[in-house]
Amino acid sequence: MDGPTGLTTLWVGRPHGFDNPLGKTDMEGEYKKCVTLINKWGLHAKTAFAFAKEAMKYESVITVEKGKKSADGKRMDDLLMLCAARGDTLEITAVGEDGEKALSSLADVVSSGFGEE
């Protein structure tokens, strides 16, 4: 038999339990805040990159929700899938020891319009 005999697994979507990354219902060190997108084009490639880059500075698990959609705040591609436009409200959740600091910083990034004019 010619060719490779191994199998490759391709995972599509989020891993089981993504919406509750630590598998707990009452998470200690969980911080949440709602922010409104004020920049002209909402969450596009540049702003999603800026958010993910800021989120990567923290150890906490960061999630962003828009309605029923949820995204890993450290993944630009996940953030873009939210299709968030100007005026949309995002709920940012940070879970971890540095969660409060992470949430404050990320909320500031969004509230400042990502530095766009």
Catalytic residue numbers, as ranges: 44
Environment class of 28 (CB within 10 Å of its CB; exposed 0-12, middle 13-18, buried 19+): exposed
Q: Provide the 3-class DSSP secondary structure of residue 102.
A: helix
Question: Residue 94: left (phi > 0), alpha (psi -120 to 50), or beta?
Answer: beta
Yes or no: say if 73 and 52 are a contact pair by the CB < 8 Å rule.
yes
